[in-house]
Structure 1
């Protein structure tokens, strides 16, 4: 067991550490030779020594009489996140209930805003669909009862509808003398509403 040689606290950095064997060396801040340090010199807080961490220690002597570091304490200088945590410490400080409530309200507000924006967009789409002119497919003609069979004159027709079918669909017909698109005006299609 090491014997204390000095009660004066010194500081330094852990310059090397062999975790398997449980020892390493500390480079004193004031310079000088590196000092041996054993795992038993560290507090039993569940954390392992880390190379580069700043420590304070007292100077003692080992079984062989050589100087070594004893009563090692970790220093909280600089960024505390660079120092190892004890196993019993939480990974991060707990959140207060007020912070949790504020976070929850914020999440709900963002979700509600997104939902209302979606609903507004959907209503606008519905309204523009109602106001947009509807493309109406022209009615498909029912299967015609007429067919091109070689007739070409009004005297061969039996109705205005038959004369219109022949004028629109059959080649070589002579039923629209004035070329206005109305066939057989004297015989069958005398009024614009004739069928």
Structure 2
């Protein structure tokens, strides 16, 4: 039952999933040994009552024996890796230093990228602020933006061949026709006021030239 050194073979006799511990019994001994879930390999399947296991024995802080470094048949031997690490000179610690160096380099690169992005954004903003006065010139030398006449609203009247006062609906419409349309017959005295008797005098409108 004794595999290398102080390693034993046995069976898991009891197990409590909720509390995460149970008891092992060695092949050639009836003593139950306490075993905690942390003694099993990480990432494996959960312990099952009745499965064959190998383990080492160590005393806990109260001096009671417990099973540690539990393995299932066919699991890799982790002690080889530990022995290899122990055989390596303690003075050589290049891998951690290399990891720290890589981490420092990554941090510096990240800061440089962040600074570059901020500088680019500031440059874009500055170009827009500088270009703004050029896009909207003002002052005496270029008064067009301030003196540009307002767009005139489209006329609601249009020349459509009508010529007589009886065809008009208002004095304003009659005045539009004599000023803008040819061959009208609404201003007999040619004083610029059409339809004086019908639309542009009295209660229908005021006389006068547009």
TM-score range (shorter-chain normalised) is: 0.3 to 0.5
- Give the number of the structure with larger relative contact order, counting CA–CA contacts within 8 Å between residues 6 or more apart: 1
TM-score (norm. length: structure 1):
0.35
Normalised to the residue count of structure 2, the TM-score between the two structures is 0.32
Relative to its length, the structure with more helix (as a share) is 2
- The structure in which a higher percent of residues are strand is 1
